[in-house]
Structure 1
Amino acid sequence: MVAERILVVEDERVVARDIEKRLKKLGYIVPASVASGEAAVEKVAELRPDLVLMDIRLKGQMDGVEAAEQIRSDFDTPVIYLTAYADDATLQRAKATEPFGYIVKPFDERDLQVAIEVALRRRLSETAIRVALEKEKELSELKSRFWSMAAHELRSPMTSILSCAQLLEQEHHRLTEDRRREFLYMIQQSVRSMDQLLNDLLAVGRVESGSLKFEPASLNLEEFCQRLVEQLQFSAEPDHHIVFNCQGQCEQAYLDPKLLRHILTNLISNAIKYSPHRSPVYFNLTCVEGEVTFQIRDTGIGIPPDTQKHLFQPFQRANNVGQIPGTGLGLTMVKRCLDLHGGRIEIESEVDVGTTVIVRLSQHQQVDRQLERTMLS
C-alpha cells in the first residue's frame, strides 16, 4: 500500500523536525517541510501532497489561514491546522477555510495519527461523493440527449414513410411507374434507418445493463466475413460495391461472433453511408502470427480533425455529414464491443479523401484469456 504524502508547514525548525520524525514513524511520507505560507502554496503546486499540516502563525506576509484558503481554492488539498494558541478572530478565519482538522500543541503521536486518518478518510468520502454526483449529472445529461436524439431520428423516417404512403394512396393513378418505385424505395430506406436506430438503442441498453457478454466461439473467419459482406451488400444501395480480400490462415479463430458482427457491421455500414455513389468500399481481412486485422477503407467525405478527438463519445457526429442520417452511437458501440473483446482500433481520415479503420484482435481470444486466468491464479 502506498503511504500518504504529507507536507509540513512550520516556521520553528525544531518543531518541524519533530513533526517530520513523528510522521515518518507513523508510516507517512514527508516530501518537504517549509516555513512560510508562500512556500506552502508553491510546494503544494509542485508536489501535490495528500494532506498539509499547517501552522496558523507563520513568518512572512501570508499566515497559515491565508495559505490554507489559497490551497483549498487552487488545489482542493485538505489542510489540518497546527497551533499552540489563536485568538477568536483568527479561529473564525480558520473555520471559514473549512479545515479537515485542528490540533493544539503540544500533541502526542496518537492525536496526530487520529486527526490525519480522519482527514484522509473524509477526503476519500468527499471525493467519492463528488465523483458520484458528477457521474449522475453526466448520466442525466446523456439520457436527456439520448431521448431527444431518439425522438428526432425516429420522427424523420416516420414522416417520410407517412408522406410517401399518402402520395401513393392519393395520387396513385397519376404517378408513373418510376415515381411509384421512387416512393417505395424511400419507404424502404426509412424503415432501414429506423431499424438501425432501434438496433443501436437496444445495443446501448444491453451494454448499460451489463447483459452484453464476451462469449468466444470457434470461427472460420473468412467464411464469416464473406457471409457478412453478402448480407450487407444485399441491403446496400445497388451502386455501392464491397470489395472483400482475405490473406493468411483465417480458417480457425476463437472470437465472439455477436460482438464481431456488431463491430464490422457498424464500420462497413459507415463506410458505405459516407461514401459517394458508385464508389467501392474495401474490406481486408489478414491473419498473421495469431493476430487478426480487419481493415475497412472508403473514399468518402472523411472526418474533420476536431471531430476525430471525440469519435467514441455517444451522439458525436461530424459537422460535414449534412443530411446523411445517423445517431452518433455506432462508433461508441464499436469501442464498447472492442473493449469486451480486448481489441484495438485505429482510424485515419482526411476530409474529402476518405477514411481507413483498422481493428486488431487476438486470433485465439478464448485460449489467451484461459492462459491469463491460469497465470493470475
Structure 2
Amino acid sequence: MNRPLRVLIVEDSEDDAELLVYELEHGGYAPVYERVDTPSAMNAALDKQQWDIVVADYTLPSFSGPAALNLLQERGIDLPFIIVSGTIGEEIAVAAMKAGAHDYLMKGKLARLAPAVDRECKEALERRKRREAEQTVRQNEERFRALIENALDIITVLGTDGIIQYESPSIEKVLGYEPGAIVGKNIVDYIHPEDTANFLNTLNQVAQNPSITLSIEFRFQHQDGSWRILEAIGKNFIDNTVRHGNVFSSGLSSIVLNSRDITERKRAEEIRMALEMERELSEGRFNFVSMMSHEFRNPLSTIIMSGELLKDFSDTISKEQKDRCLDRIEDSAQEMMRLLDDILSLTKAEVGKLEFKPQPFDLAEFCYNLVEGMQVAGGNKSRINYVIKGECSPACMDENLLGHILANLLSNAMKYSPEDSEVEFEISCHEREANFKIQDQGIGISTEDQHQLFESFHRGQNVGKIPGTGLGLCIVKKFVDLHGGKISLQSQVGVGTTFIVT
C-alpha cells in the first residue's frame, strides 16, 4: 500500500510536475500535490493546508527556488526542501544547500527523488520531535523557575565546594539577604557553630545516597544578626557520587536544599510545653495536697476522738481506758511525725537540698545493728536471716541515707509478710561494690503496680488495710540515686518480692 504524501511543487511546467509525481508514485508514495509558480500562490497554498515536503525548480519565470526557500523560512515553517533543476551547476547547488535547502537533484536523474524524499521526511520528523521536546523542556523550566521564584520556601543550590550557587528570592523575605549578596559564599559561614557538625553529617549522608532525601533542623543567621531556625530537606540529584572524605566531594555536582523558617512554630511549641509543664506541676501540687490531707486525716481523727473521749468522759472511764486513749494519741502523733519527715526528705531530694555525706564505716557491723534493732521492734512477726558475703568493711556511704534505705525495705518485707515467716537479708561485696538483697514471702506486687512503684503516694492494689503512706519506696529510690546506685525488684503476687540494691 502506497504511503500518503502531501507535496507542494514549485514549478512552472505542468509536464515537469507530472514527472515528479510519477517518480514519487513509482517510489511507493500516494502523493497529493499542488503546483505553484508565484510567491502569492505559494503563500495561499501554505495557508490552505499542511504539507510534508516542498520540491522546487531552481529557476521560474516569475519565481525561483531560492525565493521559495526564503519565503518558507520567513514564515518559520520547517519543511524538507528539495531543489530539482536541469540548469544549475554544483556551486549554485552547494550555495542553495548552505542557504537551507535539504537536497538537490538534476531533472535527468529523478530516480533519487523517492529515496531523498523518504530520508528528508524522516529527518523532518526527528527535527519536529526534537523541537517539541525542547519546547516541553523550556516550558517545564519556566514553570519550575516561576514556582521557585514565587515560593515561600527558600531554595538553595550548593556547589561541590559548599559555595552557594543559587538562592531563591524568598531568602530576602525570610532572612533579609538579597539573593545576589549571599551567592558565592559558603553556607557553613551562616550556620550556628553548634549545628555545623550535624548539618555536615546530614549532607554527607545525602552525598553518599543520591536516592534518598533527608531532613534537618539548624539555626541560620539572619541578616540582622539574629538566629532563625530552619527546617530543610536535602537532595543530591547526581548519580555515581564520589566521596573524598568531605561532604562536598568532587563527585557531586550540586545539593539542593528546600528550607523553611520554623522559628515561630518552635517558640509556640516551647510556650505550649511550658504551659503543659506548669499545668502538670499544678496538678501535681493539687494531688500532693489531696494525698497529704488524706494521710493526715486518719491520725488527726484518732487524736481528736481520743481527746474528746478524755475530755467528756474523764470522770467515768477507767484508768486503763484513759491509757489506751493516750497511747492512740501518741501513736497518731508519731505517725504524723514520720509522715512529715518523709515529706521533708522527699522534698529536699527533689530540689537537690538533701545532704549527702559519705563517710567510711564498718558496713557489716552497721547492718548487724540495724537488723537487731528492727528484729526487736518487729517482735515475732517475721525473722530476718542476715547473711554477709565477701569483705564489706570499710565502706564509704552516707550512713543516715543507707539506714533509711535498708530500714524501709526490711520493714516493708516484714509488714507485707505473714507472721512467723522469714525475710532474707543478704549483703555481698566484690571489687568495691556492695549488693543488698532483701527477699520476703509476702503478698507480692502485681506487674501493673511495679511500673508505678517508685512514684509518690502509690501503693499496690492488693495491700488491703495494711497501713502505709506510699512515700517510702519513692524516698528509697531518691536516696539510692544519690549514691549513684540502682534498685530493681522481682515479684510475684502471692509468692513474695525480692529487692536488689547495687
Name which of 416, 424, 427 aligns with 1:274.
416
Structure 1 residue 327 and structure 2 residue 469: aligned?
Answer: yes
| Mapped contact 1:213–1:340 kept (Cα < 8 A) | no
Task: Describe the superposition over 1:61-84 as per-residue Cα deviations: whole angstroms up to 9, x where unpaired.
Answer: xxxxxxxxxxxxxxxx98689xxx
The corresponding residue for 1:349 is 491
Structure 1 residue 291 and structure 2 residue 427: aligned?
Answer: no
**How far off its partner does 1:142 sit?**
1.4
- In 2, the alpha carbon distance for the partners of 1:296 and 1:335 equals 15
CA, structure 1 residues 49+256, in 2 after alignment: closer, same or farther (shift >3 Å)?
same
**How far off its partner does 1:305 sit?**
1.0
Structure 1 residue 212 and structure 2 residue 354: aligned?
Answer: yes
The structure in which a higher percent of residues are helix is 1
Structure 1 residue 159 and structure 2 residue 301: aligned?
Answer: yes
Task: Describe the superposition over 1:108-129 as per-residue Cα deviations: whole angstroms up to 9, x where unpaired.
Answer: xxxx99x75x63x545544443
| Mapped contact 2:380–2:419 kept (Cα < 8 A) | no
**How far off its partner does 1:167 sit?**
5.0
- 2:443 aligns to what SS in structure 1? coil
CA, structure 1 residues 281+191, in 2 after alignment: closer, same or farther (shift >3 Å)?
farther
- In 1, the alpha carbon distance for the partners of 2:427 and 2:495 equals 22
**How far off its partner does 1:242 sit?**
2.8
CA, structure 1 residues 235+168, in 2 after alignment: closer, same or farther (shift >3 Å)?
farther
Structure 1 residue 22 and structure 2 residue 22: aligned?
Answer: no
**How far off its partner does 1:357 sit?**
0.3
Structure 1 residue 265 and structure 2 residue 407: aligned?
Answer: yes
- In 2, the alpha carbon distance for the partners of 1:311 and 1:164 equals 34
CA, structure 1 residues 149+253, in 2 after alignment: closer, same or farther (shift >3 Å)?
same
- In 2, the alpha carbon distance for the partners of 1:171 and 1:262 equals 40
- In 1, the alpha carbon distance for the partners of 2:367 and 2:375 equals 12
The corresponding residue for 2:76 is none
| Mapped contact 2:445–2:491 kept (Cα < 8 A) | yes
Structure 1 residue 232 and structure 2 residue 368: aligned?
Answer: no
- In 1, the alpha carbon distance for the partners of 2:303 and 2:456 equals 27
Amino acid at match of 2:430: V
Computing the radius of gyration from Cα coordinates, the structure with the larger value is: 2
- In 1, the alpha carbon distance for the partners of 2:379 and 2:304 equals 22
Counterparts of 1:57-68 in structure 2 under 5 Å? none
CA, structure 1 residues 167+226, in 2 after alignment: closer, same or farther (shift >3 Å)?
farther
The corresponding residue for 2:390 is 248
Per the normalisation by structure 2, the TM-score is 0.48
Q: Percent identity?
A: 40
- 1:313 aligns to what SS in structure 2? coil
Name which of 251, 268, 272 aligns with 1:130.
272
Amino acid at match of 2:413: A
Structure 1 residue 190 and structure 2 residue 332: aligned?
Answer: yes
**How far off its partner does 1:264 sit?**
1.4
- 1:280 aligns to what SS in structure 2? strand
**How far off its partner does 1:164 sit?**
4.2
**How far off its partner does 1:260 sit?**
1.3
The corresponding residue for 1:202 is 344
The corresponding residue for 1:372 is none
Amino acid at match of 2:438: I
- In 2, the alpha carbon distance for the partners of 1:245 and 1:183 equals 41
- In 1, the alpha carbon distance for the partners of 2:476 and 2:338 equals 14
Task: Describe the superposition over 1:207-251 as per-residue Cα deviations: whole angstroms up to 9, x where unpaired.
Answer: 233211432110211111122223333433543333322221112
Unaligned runs of 5+ in 2: 1-142, 165-186, 189-198, 208-212, 219-228, 234-256
Amino acid at match of 1:22: L
| Mapped contact 2:426–2:436 kept (Cα < 8 A) | yes
| Mapped contact 1:268–1:296 kept (Cα < 8 A) | yes
Structure 1 residue 143 and structure 2 residue 279: aligned?
Answer: no
**How far off its partner does 1:165 sit?**
5.1
CA, structure 1 residues 300+187, in 2 after alignment: closer, same or farther (shift >3 Å)?
farther
Amino acid at match of 2:292: A
The corresponding residue for 1:339 is 481
| Mapped contact 1:303–1:355 kept (Cα < 8 A) | yes
- In 1, the alpha carbon distance for the partners of 2:341 and 2:286 equals 19
- In 1, the alpha carbon distance for the partners of 2:326 and 2:217 equals 66
Aligned length: 279
Per the normalisation by structure 1, the TM-score is 0.62
- In 1, the alpha carbon distance for the partners of 2:269 and 2:373 equals 50
| Mapped contact 2:392–2:428 kept (Cα < 8 A) | yes
| Mapped contact 2:444–2:493 kept (Cα < 8 A) | yes
| Mapped contact 2:215–2:231 kept (Cα < 8 A) | no
Q: Name the Cα RMSD after superposition.
A: 3.9
CA, structure 1 residues 242+172, in 2 after alignment: closer, same or farther (shift >3 Å)?
farther
Task: Describe the superposition over 1:263-282 as per-residue Cα deviations: whole angstroms up to 9, x where unpaired.
Answer: 11221222222222333322
The structure in which a higher percent of residues are strand is 2
- 2:494 aligns to what SS in structure 1? coil
**How far off its partner does 1:348 sit?**
0.8
- In 1, the alpha carbon distance for the partners of 2:156 and 2:317 equals 94
Amino acid at match of 1:161: I
The corresponding residue for 1:8 is none
| Mapped contact 1:78–1:123 kept (Cα < 8 A) | no
Amino acid at match of 2:422: P
The corresponding residue for 2:364 is 222
Unaligned runs of 5+ in 1: 1-10, 34-42, 52-76, 82-111, 361-377
Amino acid at match of 2:293: A
